[in-house]
Amino acid sequence: MRTILLFFLLLFSGLSYSSGAYNLISFDEVIFNIPADWTVSKKNGCLFVMKQRVNESDYLKVCKDTSSDESDYFTVNDDGEWEAVTDGVPVVADVNITSEFTAMSAIVSCKYKDDAGYHTDQCFQAEVNLPKKISYFFIGRGDSSLFNDYKKVYLSLKIK
């Protein structure tokens, strides 16, 4: 009887924590984690990571770029701080520097176009610059509650 109770206790405790599971996603030279209940699709060389059962326009887009030496999404301001290139007020970036890469992220004002026309909203953006002059960009749109999840995905990035 004790064995059966112990079995059910372990079974149900394991199921209660399954919502916090993550899947490892491989994208060229890097890997990162996404929540297990999210989906990934590939389009035009970029990955689109989405939470299930949310608006189709709510997604995190991950792309690779090898063409430029300069950042497309961040710049150094007059005070020597990195800030996000945005349609609105400049936003000082959250910078993470390791021996493997330099990474920056920010919540910015962004413009996008859909069937109803142009809109201005807040977006998540991050950039990871590898020493080999390869960059990965993370651009997230949607409800601001998703931005914490987007940041966790971006911060989980590791080089293979």
Amino acid (one-letter) located at 146: L
Mean pLDDT to the nearest integer, 102-113? 87
Q: What is the pTM of this model?
A: 0.78
- Got the DSSP string for 40-92? EEEETTEEEEEETTS-TT-EEEEEEE-S-SS-SSEEE-TTS-EEE--SSS-EE
Gap between the Cα atoms of 150 and 139, Å rounded: 9
Lowest model confidence (mean pLDDT) among 5-14, 22-31, 99-108: 5-14
pLDDT 10s digits, 21-44: 888 999 988 999 999 889 999 999
What are the distances in angstroms from CA 93 to CA 8, 44, 66, 76, 81? 48, 27, 22, 10, 8
pLDDT 10s digits, 115-151: 888 878 888 999 998 888 888 999 998 888 899 999 9
Which residues are bridge partners to 75 per DSSP?
83
Q: What is the dihedral of CA 92, 101, 71, 60, to 10 degrees?
A: -80
Give the model's pLDDT for residue 20: 67
Give the model's pLDDT for residue 51: 87
Give the model's pLDDT for residue 66: 82
Gap between the Cα atoms of 76 and 50, Å rounded: 31
* Phi, psi of 102, deg, nearest 5: -110, 135
**Of 6 and 144, more confident:** 144
Residue 67 pLDDT > 80: no
Taking CB atoms within 8 Å and a gap of at least 24, the contacts of 34-42 are 34/153, 35/149
**DSSP tag of 142:** S
Q: Which two tokens stand for residue 58?
A: 């709510």
